[in-house]
Structure 1
Amino acid sequence: MAHTLKPITLPAKPLKCRTFRQAQRSRYRLLQKENNNVQAGKETDPAAGALLLINKPLGWTSFDAVAKIRSSLYKKMGKRLKVGHAGTLDPLATGLLIVCTGKYTKRISEFQDMEKEYEAVLKLGATRPSFDKETEIDATFPYTHVTAGMLHEAAAAFTGEIEQTPPVYSAIKVDGKRAYESARRGKDIKMQSRKVLISTLEINRVELPDVHIRVVCGKGTYIRSLARDFGRALNTGAYLDTLKRTRIGIYNLKDAVNVEDV
C-alpha cells in the first residue's frame, strides 16, 4: 500500500617542518611511500606488522574477514598474531577493508580518520527499518515524480558538513549496549544526530527507482542514513540497495586482494 507523502592526521612524532602546510605535505609523502610499499609487497610481513588491503566479499562481516586472516596466518606461521581492521563494512557492503597486524594495529585509529570513498545504489520508493536490505520493506511511496533536477538539488543539499542521525541498526552504543542488539529485540531507541562531512556527492546514473551515486566522506558517515535522508528530501522513500567502498585515504580497492589469498 503506497503512502503519501578530513585532513590526514599527523603522526605522534612531530615532523621537522616549518609550517603546518609543509607538515601535511610531508605526511602525505610518507603515506604515499608506504602505499607504494604495500603495492610492492614490502609492507606485508605479518609477524613484524603488516598493512593488508582486503576486498571484503558480500555477506561477510568485517570480523569474519579478520578471523579468516588471523586463522590463515596462524596456519602459515604457527603462531597467533594481533590482527584488527580499520573501519567496519556492513555484511551487505563490499570493497576495501584495511586489516592491520602486529605493529600496524597501533595505527588503526589513524586509518579510521582518513576520508572514505563509496559507490552506492539508492532504491527509491520504499523504506526499511535498517535503511538497507537487512530488514524487510515497511512502507512504499510514489517516486515517478522525481526528476533529474530534484536529484541534483538533493545531492547539493547533502554536500558539506551536515547533521546526520545514525541507523538504529548500527554498532553505536546506546545506554551501554549496541544499538542493533536493542533494535532486534524490538526496543524503541533514540539515536542522537551528529555532524558529519560529505565532501563529494555525485549522481552517476539514474534508472528509476535506482540512483547510482559516488560519495567521498569523513569518519562517522553512514551511507545508509544518507539514503534514508535522500529519499525524504525527494518526498519519497529510499534505502541503500548496494554499497562498495573504493578508497580509504590514499589506499585503493584496485590494490586489494581477496580474503582467501592472504
Structure 2
Amino acid sequence: MINYSAEAFQQGQILLIDKPLHWSSFQAVNKIKWLLKKELGLKKIKVGHAGTLDPLASGLLIICTGKSTKQISELQGQIKEYTGTIQVGATTPSYDLETEIDQTYPIEHITENLLEEVRLQFIGNLEQRPPIFSAIKKDGKRLYEHARKGEEVEINTRPITIYGCEFTQVSLPNIDFKVTCSKGTYIRSLAYDIGLALKSGGHLTSLRRTKIGDYTIENALSLEEFETNIKAQASTEEA
C-alpha cells in the first residue's frame, strides 16, 4: 500500500508501475520524480528503477524512492516473468519491431512435435548472445550505436537461466509465450534463437513483463492512476 505523504516518499517506498508501450523506463522514472516535486514540494528526492523495460515492451516496472533506492540491486536480481508473441518466418536486425523485416523463411515444416522439441531446448542454463540493438557497451560505445552505423561487432554470449518456457497459444506465424527467467535475459534474443531452432526465423512482436520476484502486474498502477492519487494527496494537505 502506497503512503502518498512527502515524508513517506523520502523515507523510501517501492512503487509498482505498469509502464505503457512506447515509454522508456527513464521517462517513467522522470514522470514520477516530476510529480513528487510538483505535487508534494519535494525539492530533492532520489528516484530510480529496478530493471529496464524497452519502449516496445509494457508491464511491471519497479520504481524506488528515497532510501528504498538502496534495494535496487537486490530487486534487479529477482526472477522475472514475461508474456508476449513471437512471429516466425521473418527476422529483423533488432529482433523486434524497432527495425524492418530483413529476411523471410518458410514455416510450413513447423509441427506441434517440433515446437515441443524446441520449447524444451530453451529451459535451463543457457548461453545467450545479446542483440546488437542493445545498450551494452563495447569498445566504449553502446551496441546500438555500432548497429546504427552498420559496424560489425563481435558480441560475447552471457550465461542466463530460463526457469520456464511455455507456448501458450500457437497460430502460425504467431507463437504466444510465457517465460520465467533470470536477470540479464534478452527476450528479443530468445525470440530470435527460437526462430533459428525451428529452422526458420523469428522476431518479437509484443512483450509484457508480468512479474519480478513476488511483485506482480496485478498490483501495479498506471502512471495516470499514480498521478490522480498523488494529486488527491496534495489537495488534502492543502486543505
**TM-score, length basis structure 1:** 0.83
Q: Which residue of 1 aligns with 2:195?
A: 231
Residues 1:184 and 2:142 are matched in the alignment: no
Query: Could you say what secondary structure the match of 1:46 adopts?
Result: helix
**Is the contact between residue 70 and residue 80 of structure 1 (CA under 8 Å) also seen in structure 2?**
no
Gaps of 5+ in 2: 227-239
Q: Which residue of 2 aligns with 1:136?
A: 100
CA RMSD of aligned residues (A): 1.2
Distance in 2 between residues matched to 1:86 and 1:107, nearest whole Å:
8
% identical equivalent positions: 51
Query: Could you say what secondary structure the match of 2:224 adopts?
Result: helix
Distance in 2 between residues matched to 1:142 and 1:55, nearest whole Å:
36
- How far the C-alpha of 1:43 sits from its partner, in A, is 9.0
Q: Deviations along 1:149-201, whole A, 9 cap, x unmatched?
A: 11111110010001100001111111121111221122212111011000000
Residues 1:41 and 2:41 are matched in the alignment: no
Q: Which residue of 2 aligns with 1:53?
A: 16
Q: Which residue of 2 aligns with 1:28?
A: none
Gaps of 5+ in 1: 1-39
Distance in 1 between residues matched to 2:48 and 2:154, nearest whole Å:
30
Select the residue among 193, 216, 230 that pairs with 1:252.
216
Q: Deviating runs (4+, > 3 A) in structure 1?
A: none
What pairs with 1:196-235 in structure 2 (closer than 5 Å)?
A: 196-235=160-199
Distance in 1 between residues matched to 2:186 and 2:147, nearest whole Å:
17
Letter in 2 for 1:218: S
Query: Could you say what secondary structure the match of 2:10 adopts?
Result: coil
Letter in 1 for 2:72: I
**TM-score, length basis structure 2:** 0.91
Distance in 2 between residues matched to 1:137 and 1:80, nearest whole Å:
45
Distance in 1 between residues matched to 2:4 and 2:160, nearest whole Å:
32
Select the residue among 157, 162, 165 that pairs with 2:129.
165
Letter in 2 for 1:75: K
- How far the C-alpha of 1:41 sits from its partner, in A, is 2.7
Q: Deviations along 1:23-57, whole A, 9 cap, x unmatched?
A: xxxxxxxxxxxxxxxxx335982121110000000
Distance in 1 between residues matched to 2:23 and 2:67, nearest whole Å:
25
Q: Which residue of 2 aligns with 1:99?
A: 63
- For these two proteins, the number of residue pairs brought into alignment is 223
**Is the contact between residue 2 and residue 13 of structure 2 (CA under 8 Å) also seen in structure 1?**
no
Distance in 1 between residues matched to 2:167 and 2:130, nearest whole Å:
22
